[in-house]
Amino acid sequence: MATDLDGTLLRSDGQVSDWTRQVLADLDTAGVEVVFVTARPPRWLTHLADTVGGHGRVICIGGACVLDLATGETLDTYGFADDDARAVVGGIRAALPHAALAVERPDGVAFDPHYPRREPALDPGLWSVPVEETLGATGPVSKILALDPAYVPPPGILVDPPEEIRRAQEAFFAAVRTAIGEHAQLAYSGAVGLAELMPPGVDKAAALARWCARLGVDAADVWAFGDMPNDLPMLTWAGRGIAVANAHADVLACADAVVGHHDEDGVALELATLVAGAH
């Protein structure tokens, strides 16, 4: 069983209910492998370590990293070639000089000085220089973020922005796609005005497929849950791709089934049938 987190398994407050926590534990006891597959970086996952099952592993950064939450060890990682990372940053600088950029690695992050400071616990020095000055310094980049500061998103996920913001966002995304060419692919996880750029060939589906191959699990035996367009490759790959009721229209259209809203334990309600069938 593979599930996205924000907007899918987690409630709007970023937590899981006690009942969902119990259902996940019951699945683990029954021998059903539970894997979180999320765009979140490792630093946003530590408080969920007790929900992911005995193995403690999470596919994060949109498929670029497999993390063992119990030990903090990075088990698998994929990143941009240095030339591709520089081409992406340079292309966006030339086409969208107003954009604010950040670069994510499994072991940390760096921000442009004008990137909004949404993580007060982080070292202010991470906003000290343009991100291109950090490339090649501490290992490959797993994800590049491009933010349109004219539409700084509110905290959390906004699935249905007003039409004016939606049009501006699509125009921004179109310009980003042109600027990056074949050096990256754009993934959209729901944050307004934020383009999440992944290395070519790196997405949730590819990472989940590799992990399942290690376990000897066929795609036909995987249930996958999601809510946003960056979940579509995973939902299409899995034998059963399931959307939550609050999902993006594109996800609802392609899903094999639709379950309840993420604030109403929709995923857990569906998973309870797996628990019942395993006994």
Considering 1-10, 28-37, 47-56, 131-140, the range whose residues carry the highest mean pLDDT is 1-10
For residue 139, name the pLDDT band (cuts at 50, 70, 90).
confident
pLDDT at residue 42 in the model: 93
Q: Are 145 and 195 in contact (CB under 8 A)?
A: yes
CA distance 175 to 182: 14
Provide the percentage of residues in the chain whose pLDDT is more than 70.
Answer: 95
For residue 161, name the pLDDT band (cuts at 50, 70, 90).
low
Using DSSP's 3-state secondary structure scheme, residue 107 falls into: coil
Look at residue 227 and tell me whether its pLDDT is greater than 90: yes
pLDDT at residue 157 in the model: 44
What is residue 7's DSSP assignment? I
Using DSSP's 3-state secondary structure scheme, residue 242 falls into: strand
Say which residue, 138 or 74, is predicted with more confidence: 74
Backbone angles phi, psi at 68, to 5 degrees: -95, 105
Beta bridge partners of 109: 104
**Residue 2: closest CA among 273, 187, 279, 271:** 271
Angle at 3 between CA 67 and CA 145, to 5 degrees: 60
CA distance 261 to 9: 9
Work out the mean pLDDT of the chain and round it to a whole number.
91
CA distance 33 to 25: 10
Report field, pTM of the whole predicted structure over 0.85: yes
Across residues 153-181, what is the average pLDDT?
78
User: What count of other Cβ atoms lies within 10 Å of the Cβ of residue 126?
Assistant: 18
pLDDT at residue 165 in the model: 78
Across residues 125-140, what is the average pLDDT?
92
Return the minimum-mean-pLDDT range out of 14-18, 80-84, 140-144, 159-163: 159-163
Across residues 155-161, what is the average pLDDT?
53
pLDDT at residue 209 in the model: 96
pLDDT at residue 155 in the model: 52
Using DSSP's 3-state secondary structure scheme, residue 134 falls into: helix
pLDDT at residue 268 in the model: 95
Q: Are 41 and 102 in contact (CB under 8 A)?
A: no
Q: How far is CA 213 from the centre of its chain?
A: 21
Q: Are 139 and 107 in contact (CB under 8 A)?
A: yes
